[in-house]
């Protein structure tokens, strides 16, 4: 069935339209509290009118088109319409700053932009003078834009009306364009995370490379038209390109779209998606908040937790492969209500990706009966390694197999070889030689005795130890974020004996509730961090985590930081990965204070921008020592 649908996304959309028409839903979108059904006929006709409208405006083969906005049906219409004409879609995160938008646009030189609303239009217009290639900005939410007179602007519905007139004048034109498309045509620029450089790189993909990634996921776990999913972000990242676009089109399942990002959890509870995929940081956050709820719930719920959670944790073998629960009462009274509170009560497939996730996080969700498994993905090469079917092992991404195009190089780097690599970085220097046909991932990995691959983290982040081992901070950071009282953490190690330190961002909402229950007065986040009771709470959490892990890699000192790390300040990427080179420079005085055994440091901190203005505030930071290594 996959092959007969076609070799490009527009061909597969056309196939689904012809097969399912108005009889099967393709999407559901919540507007004003009501779920609106979009059939495959609706989907195709929306794409058709938009594509022909863009053709009337002059969109040609190879033109790049920005798409900027929160997840919405119009996002998918825009991508498929651009690709139907041989154009290249360039998705951008909706929370980009105008400076980031300008820098990324200069790389791809877009001819058109499709934007969600006034906020995105304002950013594009602010950067338009630096994007001479930009001819039109088309927007689909009209609130607040009625008085705008800029000649660049066009309404989405007006462009679609142009397309309907084009269809009346020349019927079948779009179908001709779609049939002319080829598998190797470039179709999308997908951005890397940007955690190791000033800006992300734009990986140029063809239909062949994107389709191969989607088919890989379907080979791990088959999807059916009865499945449904509800992704939070628009398909800017490579994973959403494979799953929200590719697997959705190939399987014919239902794509649900939440009303807003703020209502996403509530909408998940209503739709109960059968397939859930989230980056590791989101699973960590959900698990931590669930633990906080269990800790603060009423006595009966605590008793149920004490009774059934040990049974849940015993529901998988030593390798971590989940087993079917044999305690239906626990499922009814505890596990299913917990999963429903997270919108996971119908999930049969659950994937984590994007960074190293600590096995304890996976073990927690397995205890609830959710088969969460890790899939190793690369923006450049696709999904490279994952467990097939229901059996898998915690902390690993699958078996090592050079025949499958995965191996570990002499320096411990994960290497891969694929026929469906990306086409290169758009607007960058040549991607570089591929030694012996193997492409370097930049990630460190090792093979366990049983032949399974364990990813350690970025090769550049490892610290070499005197005994020949290496320390990677990502797993420890993941474990810290799994605490209900820790929002984020940056871990680093120094010296051949790995003196391990951490900068800890408390979960201020949870700690605020904890302080209220314990009648501890405070005036704000900075004041909370200076409270001895709060320091004792965080120290207790870190000591417990230290006791679980390798004695060589225990955190000796940590710094409580009174605000969240912020993408607008360059401290993390838009998908919440730490930008360590920025942190090392920005916290240079703090690092020196930790090394010199100071107990406090006065640090000048840039605050998140307010109306584009960044203020600098002084904050006393406490440096808390936990233990000394012998």
**In the listed set 154, 182, 212, which residue is the last one of a domain according to the structure?**
212
Per-residue model confidence (pLDDT) at position 434: 57
φ, ψ dihedrals at 150, nearest 5°: -60, 130
Q: Are residues 384 and 407 in the same domain?
A: yes
- Residue 543: is its pLDDT beyond 60? yes
291: exposed, middle or buried (Cβ count in 10 Å: 0-12, 13-18, 19+):
middle
22 and 90 co-located in one domain: yes
Say how many Å lie between the first and final Cα of the chain, rounded. Answer: 63
Residue 74's pLDDT band, with cuts at 50, 70 and 90, is very high
In a domain, 362, yes or no: no
Count of domains observed in the chain? 3
Q: Are residues 475 and 442 in the same domain?
A: no
The answer to whether residues 534 and 389 belong to one domain is no
* Percent residues over pLDDT 90 in the chain: 63
| pLDDT tens-digit readout, 443-470 | 888 888 777 888 888 888 888 776 667 8
Q: What is the overall mean pLDDT for the chain?
A: 89
Q: In this model, does residue 133 exceed pLDDT 60?
A: yes
- Here the tokens at position 170 are 């020349």
Looking at residue 612, its pLDDT comes to: 60
User: Do 524 and 398 sit in the same domain of this protein?
Assistant: no
For residue 524, being part of any structural domain is answered with yes
Q: Which among 457, 492, 519 is the end of a domain?
A: 457
Exposure string (b/e) for 527-560, b if CB count within 10 Å is 16 or more? ebbbbeebbebbbebbeebbeebeeebbbbbbbb
pLDDT for 613 equals 66
* DSSP-H helix ranges across 315-401: 328-330, 336-341, 359-367
Instruction: Give the pairing of strands 153-155 and 136-139.
Output: parallel
Closest CA to 234 of 409, 102, 77: 77
- Give the model's pLDDT for residue 66: 98
CB neighbours of 607 closer than 8 A, spacing ≥ 6?
A: 563, 614, 615, 616, 617
DSSP-derived 3-state class of residue 183 = coil
Place of tokens 């890699």: 553
pLDDT in tens, 560-614: 999 999 998 899 999 889 999 999 999 999 999 998 889 999 887 776 666 666 6
The percent of the chain in helix, strand and coil, each rounded to the nearest 5, is 40, 25, 35
Give me the domain span that covers residue 444.
375-414+436-457
Which CATH number do you get for residue 530?
3.30.300.30
The CB-based long-range contact list for 489-495 (8 Å cut-off, 24+ gap) reads 490/565, 490/578, 490/580, 490/583, 491/555, 492/463, 492/580, 492/584, 492/591, 493/463, 493/553, 494/463, 494/595
425 occurs within a structural domain: no
Instruction: Identify whether 181 is part of a domain.
Output: yes
Residues 450 and 526 in one domain: no
Residues 527 and 574 in one domain: yes
When pLDDT is cut at 50, 70 and 90, the band that residue 1 belongs to is: very low
How many CA atoms lie less than 13 Å away from 155 in the CB half-sphere? 12
In 3-state terms, what secondary structure has residue 256?
strand
620 shares its domain with 476: yes
How much is the pLDDT for 225? 95
Distance CA 219, CA 239 (A): 15
Beta bridge partners of 501: 492, 557
CATH of residue 37: 3.40.50.12780
The alpha-helical segments, DSSP class H, found in 115-223 are 118-127, 156-169, 173-180, 207-220
Domain membership of residue 618 (yes or no) is yes
Residues 443 and 490 both lie in one domain: no
Q: Are 441 and 456 in contact (CB under 8 A)?
A: no
Say if residues 233 and 243 touch (Cβ distance below 8 Å). Answer: no
**Does one domain contain both 468 and 453?**
no
SS3 of residue 619 by DSSP: strand
Q: What is the mean pLDDT of residues 345-356?
A: 91
**Looking at the predicted structure, is the pLDDT value of residue 177 above 90?**
yes
pLDDT in tens, 427-440: 775 454 455 678 88
Local structure of residue 170 (DSSP, 8 states): S
**Token duo for residue 296:** 């603060």
Positive or negative, the CA dihedral 589, 444, 354, 549 is negative
C-alpha dist (Å) from residue 270 to 28, 99, 257, 379? 12, 38, 12, 32
CA distance 604 to 625: 22
What distance in Å separates the CA atoms of residue 214 and residue 383, rounded to the nearest whole number?
Answer: 9
| DSSP code, position 578 | B
Does the residue 537 lie in any domain? yes
Assess whether 398 and 469 both reside in one domain: no
The Cα–Cα gap between 470 and 388 comes to: 30
- Mean pLDDT for 490-507 is 87
Last residue of a domain, one of 212, 232, 252: 212
pLDDT band at 197 (very low <50, low <70, confident <90, very high): confident
Cβ atoms of residues 6 and 12 within 8 Å: yes
Same domain, 488 and 442: no
Whether residue 63 is contained in a domain is answered as yes
Domain contains 281? no
For the whole model, what pTM was predicted? 0.92
């Amino acid at each position: 069935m996959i092959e007969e649908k076609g070799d490009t996304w527009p061909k597969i959309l056309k196939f689904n339209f012809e097969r399912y028409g108005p009889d099967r839903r393709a999407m559901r979108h919540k507007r004003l509290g009501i779920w609106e059904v979009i059939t495959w006929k609706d989907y195709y006709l929306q794409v058709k009118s938009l594509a022909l409208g863009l053709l009337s405006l002059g969109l040609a083969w190879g033109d790049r088109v920005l798409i900027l906005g929160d997840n919405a049906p119009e996002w998918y219409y825009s991508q498929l319409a651009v690709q139907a004409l041989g154009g290249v879609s360039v998705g951008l995160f909706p929370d980009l700053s105008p400076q980031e938008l300008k820098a990324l646009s200069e790389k791809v030189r877009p001819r058109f932009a499709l934007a969600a609303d006034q906020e995105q239009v304002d950013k594009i217009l602010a950067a338009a003078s630096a994007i001479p290639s930009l001819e039109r900005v088309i927007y689909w939410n009209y609130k607040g834009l009625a008085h705008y007179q800029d000649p660049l602007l066009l309404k989405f519905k007006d462009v679609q009306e142009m397309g309907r007139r084009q269809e009346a004048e020349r019927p079948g034109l779009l179908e001709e364009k779609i049939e002319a498309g080829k598998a190797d045509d470039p179709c999308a620029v997908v951005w890397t995370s940007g955690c190791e450089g000033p800006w992300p790189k734009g990986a140029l993909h063809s239909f062949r490379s994107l389709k191969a990634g989607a088919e890989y996921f379907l080979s791990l776990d088959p999807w059916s038209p009865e499945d449904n999913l509800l992704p939070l972000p628009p398909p800017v990242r490579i994973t959403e390109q494979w799953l929200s676009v590719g697997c959705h089109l190939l399987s014919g399942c239902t794509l649900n779209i939440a009303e807003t990002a703020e209502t996403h959890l509530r909408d998940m509870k209503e739709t109960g998606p059968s397939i859930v995929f989230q980056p590791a940081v989101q699973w960590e956050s959900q698990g931590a908040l669930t633990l906080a709820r269990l800790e603060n719930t009423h006595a009966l719920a605590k008793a149920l937790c004490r009774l059934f959670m040990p049974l849940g944790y015993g529901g998988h073998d030593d390798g971590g492969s989940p087993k079917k629960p044999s305690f239906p009462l626990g499922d009814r009274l505890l596990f299913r209500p917990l999963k429903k509170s997270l919108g996971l009560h119908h999930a049969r497939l659950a994937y984590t990706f994007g960074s190293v996730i600590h096995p304890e996080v996976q073990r927690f969700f397995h205890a609830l009966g959710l088969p969460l498994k890790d899939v190793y993905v690369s923006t450049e090469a696709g999904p490279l390694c994952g467990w097939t079917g229901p059996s898998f092992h915690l902390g690993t991404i699958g078996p090592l197999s050079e025949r499958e195009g995965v191996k570990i190089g002499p320096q411990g780097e994960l290497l891969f070889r694929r026929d469906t690599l990306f086409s290169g970085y758009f607007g960058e220097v040549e991607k570089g030689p591929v030694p012996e046909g193997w492409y370097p991932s930049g990630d460190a990995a090792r093979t366990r005795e049983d032949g399974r691959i364990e990813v350690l983290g970025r090769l550049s982040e490892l610290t070499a130890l005197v005994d020949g081992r290496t320390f990677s901070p990502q797993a420890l950071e993941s474990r810290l974020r799994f605490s209900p009282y820790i929002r984020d953490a940056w871990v680093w190690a120094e010296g051949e004996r790995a003196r391990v330190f951490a900068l800890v961002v408390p979960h201020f909402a949870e700690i605020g509730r904890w302080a209220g229950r314990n009648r501890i007065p405070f005036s704000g986040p900075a004041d909370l961090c200076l409270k001895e009771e709060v320091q004792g709470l965080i120290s207790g959490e870190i000591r417990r985590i230290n006791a679980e892990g390798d004695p060589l890699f225990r955190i000796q000192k940590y710094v409580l930081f009174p605000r969240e790390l912020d993408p607008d300040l360059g401290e993390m990427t838009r998908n919440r990965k730490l930008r360590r080179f920025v942190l090392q420079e920005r916290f240079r005085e703090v690092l020196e204070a930790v090394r010199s055994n100071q107990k406090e440091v006065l640090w000048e901190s840039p605050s998140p921008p307010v109306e584009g203005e960044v203020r600098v505030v002084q904050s006393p930071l406490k440096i808390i020592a936990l233990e000394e290594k012998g």
